[in-house]
């Protein structure tokens, strides 16, 4: 059981997660705590009371480590992985939720649930222009609601995302497919989108001196176990911005469906479901569905009745990467040019004079013969085949 951190001088005691006896009481408490969220509803909340560990804030875990308390290996792994989970702010602030940091086809990226990009009618929540104004907040695991202005620039930092995201074309179809089936809301093989980052934050040095890094995928784990961790934000405690975690949950993997017993509340979609293997957290799944509002004394025997996530093997790994994606050709070429030191502009997937000039510089420095300076699949293939070339344009 995760302990309660000591209360420092001048601080108030941190409230625990609510534990009412009925789902109705739980919803009342959640609704009161989530007054900050417009149109928030207590839906898709499913808790199994036989979980050996309750949900707890990551900042509380970090406080325990800072006071010299010896943490369990899984708790140490949670702290190491926390800077790799965060909040995604979609469509110029129209919606936000959970996401986590991966590498996809060599690019730093974040993944989240696709159904967060649609409304109740199954339509995209914003225009293409607004979708370009989407960001990722990578440092929210350090947010402490008792001191909301502490290190505010660092904690609430936002990093630009590149639009369109991978798998966007499946988003509306996925939402419509499950629109009339609340029990499986958000589930499905295509309930994910991957946004590339406009800047590489994986090399950031964190306050404890560690490097942020990214989450490696658990592509071929055992079929079942009790070593799953869920990490992300929900609306129930501490004003919804505090990252919480729960570990030692059970799981069962069937094809692309990862069933787990970690608590699920409104706002949990897109959360990292991680596997604790060899003292490290690996990205295991993207949480996307709960069956209904229930608080049960124990998890059902049948894993198919647990909460669900999409296994990362569906979109990560060699079989799912390095595929042509015409809608992101400009970004892909900009990324290669930046790696070569030829491009200093934004990784924004917008092809203009700066991008053309960078491609011209690359061709001159490398001796590459090009038919033109527009972003084509042939040009990208030529650049990728020449990896790595180092900073050929530097100086």
Tokens of residue 206, six digits: 């964190």
- DSSP per residue over 27-50, as a string? HHHHHHHTTTSTT----S-EEETT
Q: In this structure, how many other beta carbons lie within 10 angstroms of the beta carbon of residue 172?
A: 17
Going from the C-alpha of 294 to that of each of 49, 248, 290, 362, the distances in angstroms are 11, 20, 9, 58
Please report the pLDDT score of residue 352 as a whole number: 94
Instruction: Choose from 5-14, 74-83, 104-113, 144-153 the range with maximum mean pLDDT.
Output: 74-83
Please report the pLDDT score of residue 279 as a whole number: 94
* Architecture of the domain made up of 20-323: Beta Barrel (2.40)
Please report the pLDDT score of residue 30 as a whole number: 53
For the cut 50, the answer to whether the pLDDT of residue 3 exceeds it is no
Q: Which residues contact residue 169 at a Cβ distance below 8 angstroms, ignoring those fewer than 6 apart?
A: none
For the cut 50, the answer to whether the pLDDT of residue 1 exceeds it is no
Q: What CA–CA distance (Å, rounded) separates 220 from 153? A: 39
Average pLDDT of the chain, as a whole number: 83
Average pLDDT over residues 213-220: 97
Q: Shortest CA distance to 86 belongs to which of 17, 142, 166, 37?
A: 142
Q: Which residues contact residue 58 at a Cβ distance below 8 angstroms, ignoring those fewer than 6 apart?
A: 78, 79, 82, 141, 231, 242, 243, 244, 245
Please report the pLDDT score of residue 151 as a whole number: 95
Greater pLDDT, 238 or 191: 191
Please report the pLDDT score of residue 28 as a whole number: 59
Using one digit for the tens of pLDDT, what is the confidence trace for 296-326?
Answer: 889 999 998 999 999 999 999 887 776 778 8
For the cut 60, the answer to whether the pLDDT of residue 182 exceeds it is no
Tokens of residue 342, six digits: 């030829």
Using one digit for the tens of pLDDT, what is the confidence trace for 256-300?
Answer: 999 999 998 878 899 999 999 999 999 999 999 887 667 888 999
Tokens of residue 144, six digits: 């402490």
Whose tokens are 């369990």? That residue is: 72
Domain boundaries, the chain: 20-323, 326-385
């Amino acid at each position: 059981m995760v302990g309660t951190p000591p209360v420092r001088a001048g601080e108030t005691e941190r409230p625990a997660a609510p534990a009412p006896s009925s789902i109705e009481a739980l919803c009342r408490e959640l609704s009161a705590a989530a007054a900050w969220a417009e149109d928030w509803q207590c839906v898709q909340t499913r808790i199994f009371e036989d979980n050996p560990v309750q949900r707890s804030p990551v900042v509380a875990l970090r406080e325990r480590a800072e006071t010299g308390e010896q943490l369990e290996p899984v708790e140490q792994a949670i702290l190491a992985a926390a800077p790799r989970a965060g909040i995604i702010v979609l469509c110029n602030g129209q919606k936000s939720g959970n996401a986590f940091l991966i590498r996809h086809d060599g690019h730093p990226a974040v993944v989240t649930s696709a159904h967060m990009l649609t409304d109740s009618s199954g339509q995209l929540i914003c225009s293409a222009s607004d979708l370009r104004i989407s960001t990722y907040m990578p440092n929210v695991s350090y947010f402490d609601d008792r001191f909301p202005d502490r290190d505010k620039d660092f904690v609430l930092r936002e990093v630009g995302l590149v639009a369109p995201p991978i798998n966007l074309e499946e988003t509306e179809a996925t939402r419509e497919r499950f629109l009339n089936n609340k029990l499986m809301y958000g589930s499905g093989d295509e309930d994910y989108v991957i946004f590339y980052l406009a800047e590489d934050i994986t090399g950031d040095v964190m306050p404890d001196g560690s490097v942020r890094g990214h989450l490696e995928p658990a592509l071929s784990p055992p079929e079942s176990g009790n070593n799953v961790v869920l990490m992300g934000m929900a609306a129930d405690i501490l004003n919804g911005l505090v990252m919480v975690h729960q570990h030692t949950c059970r799981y069962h993997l069937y094809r692309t469906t990862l069933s787990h017993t970690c608590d699920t509340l409104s706002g949990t979609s897109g959360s990292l479901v991680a596997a604790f293997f060899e003292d490290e957290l690996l990205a295991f799944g993207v949480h996307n569905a709960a069956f209904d509002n229930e608080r049960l004394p124990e998890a059902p025997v049948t894993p198919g009745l647990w909460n669900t996530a999409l296994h990362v093997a569906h979109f990560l790994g060699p079989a799912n990467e390095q595929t042509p994606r015409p809608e992101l050709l400009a970004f892909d070429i900009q990324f290669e040019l930046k790696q070569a030191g030829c491009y200093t502009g934004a990784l924004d997937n917008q092809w203009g004079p700066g991008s053309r000039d960078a491609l011209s510089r690359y061709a001159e420095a490398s001796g590459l013969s090009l038919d033109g300076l527009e972003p084509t699949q042939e040009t990208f293939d030529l650049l990728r085949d020449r990896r790595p070339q180092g900073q050929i344009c530097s100086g």
